[in-house]
Amino acid sequence: MTEPDTTAYHPFIGSEDEDEHIVLEDCEVDVRAHGPDKASEPHTHEETHIIFVRTGEMQWVVEGEEFHAEAGDTIVTPPETEHTFEVVGGEPANTTCLIAPSRSSEDQGPSGTHEITKPEEV
């Protein structure tokens, strides 16, 4: 079992707070601020990701099904489920992602490696 990360973190996360990553014994919490120009490439994870949209709007495609998500909505991506997202509406989207089970210590850290900058519109 992975040892929990005891790095100091804030017990309350507001919609304007910076990115934060918390590793607990059996799960991780990844708090992200996605700029209005951000999207992702199609990708999968070995873990379940439960994404809570705190502010902004996002367009998600999970296993070919499209979802428009805004503040208060939740997106679930089970293990090995292909998905993408795109921030829409011109404002940043702040999310909290619960990742379970915790990834190996080598793979822990903000889960934004699949995030890309959208090309400028013509």
Boundaries of domain holding 48: 31-73+87-95
Residue 107 lies in a domain: no
Q: Examine the pLDDT at 10 and tell me if it is beyond 60.
A: no
Q: Mind spelling out the 3-state secondary structure of 3-25?
A: CCCCCCCCCCCCCCCCCEEEECC
* Distance in angstroms (rounded) separating the CA atoms of residues 17 and 27: 21
Evaluate whether 88 touches 59 at the Cβ level (below 8 Å).
yes
Residue 110 lies in a domain: no
pLDDT of residue 62: 92
pLDDT tier for residue 113 given thresholds of 50, 70 and 90: low
| Bridge pairing between strands 74-77 and 28-34 | unpaired
Residue 39 lies in a domain: yes
Determine the average pLDDT of the residues in 10-14.
Answer: 54
Determine the average pLDDT of the residues in 92-109.
Answer: 81
Into how many domains does the chain fold? 1
Residue 46 lies in a domain: yes
Residue 19 lies in a domain: no
Mean of the per-residue pLDDT values of the chain: 81
